[in-house]
Amino acid sequence: MRHPFVPAVKLIDFLQGKWLGHPLHAAIVHLPLGLWIGSCGFDFAAVLGWSPEVFARLGVFCVGLGLLAALPVIITGLADWSSIKREKPAWKLGVAHMTLNLIATLTFGLNFGLRLEQLDEADPITTPILLSSSAGTVLLFISGYLGSLMSFDHGIGVARGSKDKWRKIAAAGGSNLAEEK
Amino acid sequence: MSAAKHILEGRPFKSPLHAALVHIPIALLSLGFLLDAVSWTVRLETWQLPRVAAYAIAFGIAMAVVAALPGLVDYTTIRKDSSAKKIAMLHMILNVTSLALFALSLGLRFDSLDAARTPLGALVASGIAFGVLSYSGYLGGSLVYEEGIGVGRHRRTTPLPTETVVVRSREGENRVLVGLASELSEGGTLRVNASGTLVTIARVDGRLAAFQEYCTHRYAPLSEGCLKDGEVVCPWHNSRFNVRTGAVVQGPAKVNLRTFTVEEHDGNIWLDVPPTPPKAASATPSTARSGQRR
């Protein structure tokens, strides 16, 4: 049984985290999100004159590693979104979440360039660096909130990996079950 | 419900506060370990990597403590006999272990912050701490994506059942005494195990209704659903069912709920639970079946 779409389906399954048991996107999103928001906090600490040279280096690592991690996060997020039905409210939420995240990623890309240029200067965190990391952080707060609505309000990815386990439990408890596909 | 608990559960944000706060400590602590590892593989003499890593770890620990508080509140909302309770306990123990190891790693590098390499002991401590944190984070993912903890919780305004009421009917009888009717207020639910059949008893518009515990889509606990306008809303994917007839009002669920006869007599709740045939598991389309059962 060779079907032309089998490799594509396998790839989507992998990206959605079928092998892990939960959505892969939610597991790796901590890195860019936490690191980029952290970098903004560290910029403020540096500007306030609190070990600016250490915080500037920490900021470079935060934004740089966040950019590296962003690529798999974007791909796995797209894979999750691709199985949401168009008529569901979560589909539009996904589009807004994705758009804001792309802008935030570009913002931190720009921010990273500014950081590298300024790293060995006396004032490593300039106003453009502070402003761009702050703007990126505001974007992440909004898009992160939309992402959490997708999980916790619309249940995207919830029981995707555990539905067979729950089906057995529901059957043993005398409940009617979904029709088998 | 107190205002503090309301916010710590993340109700104004329609999602748990704990899940929103953990991004920062997870990311910073992971970065801390990564920088320790980099200090052993790449020569960056002037970068003071042990010091930069120490800052990441110190802020990571501080933010983890902040994230722990709403996490503890979430723990209290999990039903005592739920499989998620044990996972949550292990998640908590491992998080504390990981933070202790990261703190140890900070202590072990304290007099070599300006060295090119993180001392071996501090590297080993942060490495183990990172491993423990990763597994614990996986368990946190299980709590949300396998067990559904916190999913749709913001829609439910009455307290969740804290445990399952276990009752057994006498030989040859279907009727069981569940408890006092006064214990169930409007919009509230009881989760009942009646001789192995799992039933939600709810008070809707003043009257009792009884239906199967598990949603017919992905089997969410309907005793944790929201009750309004004569319907129960599934906490996970918002399927809606008529509480009296069990009929699907809105998908994604396609199959009706099994319903049961429940009555209030002299201040007591009585439930009729016909035995579940052993083959109920091999579901035939159940619209017809649920009709027969009622």
**Minimal-distance CA residue of chain B relative to A38:** B24
- B152's CB contacts (< 8 A; 6+ apart) are A152, A153, A155, B220, B224, B225, B226, B233, B234, B235, B236, B238
What is the per-residue pLDDT for B291? 38
Q: Are strands B259-265 and B248-250 parallel, antiparallel or unpaired?
A: unpaired
Range among A45-49, B45-49, B149-153, B193-197 rated most confident:
B149-153
**B27 contact A CB<8A:** yes
| Strand ranges inside B87-224, DSSP E | 164-167, 175-180, 189-194, 197-204, 207-212
Q: Which residue has the higher pLDDT, B14 or A121?
A: B14
Going by pLDDT thresholds of 50, 70 and 90, the confidence category of residue B281 is very low
| A41 vs B283, more confident | A41
Residue the block writes with tokens 């090119």:
B116
Evaluate if residue B87 carries a pLDDT over 60: yes
DSSP code string of B58-99: HHHHHHHHHHHHHHHHHHHHS-TTSHHHHHHHHHHHHHHHHH
Give bridge partners of residue B228 from the DSSP assignment: B231
Residues in chain A: 181
CB distance A36 to A137 below 8 Å: yes
Structure tokens at B189: 């639910």
| Whole-number Å distance between alpha carbons of B263 and A178 | 28
Residue A91 near residue A27, CB atoms below 8 Å: no
Res B213 pLDDT > 70: yes
Query: What would the mean pLDDT of B76-96 be, rounded to a whole number?
Result: 95
Q: pLDDT for B126-180, tens place per residue?
A: 999 999 999 999 999 999 999 999 999 999 988 899 999 888 877 777 888 888 8
Contact with chain B for residue A52, Cβ under 8 A: no
Q: Is B169 on the interface with A (CB under 8 A)?
A: no
- B43 pLDDT band, cuts 50/70/90, is confident
Interchain contact, A57 vs B15, CB within 8 Å: no
- The pLDDT, as a whole number, for residue B48 is 84
Cα of B271 to nearest chain A Cα, Å: 15
For residue B103, the model assigns a pLDDT of 96
**Arithmetic mean of pLDDT, A76-92:** 91
For chain B, what is the largest distance between any 2 Cα atoms, rounded to a whole number of angstroms? 82
Q: B248-250 and B207-212 as β-strands: parallel, antiparallel, unpaired?
A: unpaired
Give per-residue burial for B187-203: e unless 16+ CB within 10 Å, then b.
Answer: bbbbbbbbbebbbbbbb
Handedness of CA A165, B142, A139, A146 (dihedral sign): positive
Q: Are A28 and A69 in contact (CB under 8 A)?
A: yes
Per-residue confidence (pLDDT) for residue B289, from 0 to 100: 41
Mean pLDDT of chain A: 90
Report phi then psi at B218, rounded to 5.
-125, 20
- In this prediction, residue B274 has a pLDDT band, given cuts at 50, 70 and 90, of confident
pLDDT of residue A181: 67
* 3-state secondary structure (DSSP) of residue B211: strand
Check pLDDT > 50 for residue A158: yes
Q: Which amino acid is at A95?
A: V
CB neighbourhood size of B226 (10 A):
21
Residue A2: pLDDT band (50, 70, 90) is low
Kindly identify which residue of chain A lies nearest to residue B113, measuring between CA atoms.
A54
Contact A35 B28 (CB under 8 A): yes
Closest chain B residue by Cα to residue A63? B31
b/e sequence A5-38, b meaning 16+ C-beta within 10 Å = eeeeeeebeebbbeeeebbbbbbbbbbbbbbbbb
Q: Is the pLDDT of residue A52 over 90?
A: no
pLDDT at B73 over 90: yes
* Ramachandran region, residue B238 (left: φ > 0; alpha: ψ -120 to 50; beta: rest): left
Return the DSSP state at B214: B
Measured from the Cβ of residue A49, the count of other Cβ atoms closer than 10 Å reads: 7
Inter-chain CB proximity B219 and A35 less than 8 Å: no
Is B216 within 8 Å of chain A by CB? yes
- Alpha carbon separation from A156 to A159, B216, B230, B272 (Å, rounded): 9, 17, 26, 36
Interface test with B, best of A18, A60, A142, A175 (most B CBs within 10 A): A175
Q: What pLDDT sits at residue B284?
A: 45
Q: Give the closest of A144, A158, A159 to B20, CB-based.
A: A144
The pTM assigned to this predicted structure is 0.88
Selecting from A21, A23, A54 the residue whose C-beta is nearest the C-beta of B55 gives A54
Residues of B in contact with A58 (CB under 8 A): 52, 55-56
Work out the pLDDT band at B8, boundaries 50, 70, 90: confident
Cα of B92 to nearest chain A Cα, Å? 18
Q: What is the mean pLDDT of residues A163-173?
A: 90
Which residue in A32, A169, A171 is closest to B280 by CB distance? A171
Statement: residue B217 has pLDDT above 60? yes
Residue B30 pLDDT greater than 90, yes or no: yes
Torsion angle (degrees, nearest 10) of CA B246, B163, B139, A90: 30
- Identify residue B195 by its one-letter amino acid code: S
Three-state SS letters, A16-52 = HCCCCCCCHHHHHCHHHHHHHHHHHHHHHHHHCCCCH
- Furthest-apart CA pair in chain A: how many Å? 71
Q: Does A174 touch chain B (CB under 8 A)?
A: yes
What pLDDT is stored for residue A3 in this prediction? 64
What would the mean pLDDT of A63-87 be, rounded to a whole number? Answer: 93
- pLDDT of the residue at B90: 97
Q: Does B28 touch chain A (CB under 8 A)?
A: yes
pLDDT confidence of residue B285 = 44
Amino acid identity for residue B98 in this structure: S
* Chain B hits for A157, Cβ within 8 Å: 145
3-state helix/strand/coil string of A118-132? HCCCCCCCCHHHHHH
Say which residue the tokens 């009942």 belong to. Answer: B192
Whether A29 and A74 have beta carbons less than 8 Å apart is answered as: no
Per-residue pLDDT reduced to its tens digit, B241-261: 999 999 999 989 999 999 999
Q: What is the pLDDT of residue A100?
A: 96
Instruction: Provide the ipTM.
Output: 0.90
Stretch 48-107 of chain B: residues touching chain A, C-beta under 8 Å: 48, 51-52, 55-56, 59
For the segment A29-50, what is each residue's pLDDT rounded down to a tens digit? 999 999 999 999 999 998 888 8
Q: How many contacts, defined by CB atoms under 8 Å, are there between A and B?
A: 207
* Nearest partner of A79 among A173, A131, A157, A134, judged by Cα: A157
Structure tokens belonging to residue B63: 């933010």
Segments in chain B forming alpha helices (H): 3-8, 17-21, 23-41, 49-77, 83-108, 120-145, 286-293
- A:107-166 residues touching chain B, CB 8 A cutoff: 144-145, 148-149, 151-155, 157-163, 165-166
- pLDDT at A7 exceeding the cut of 60: yes
Distance from CA of A63 to the nearest CA of B (A): 11
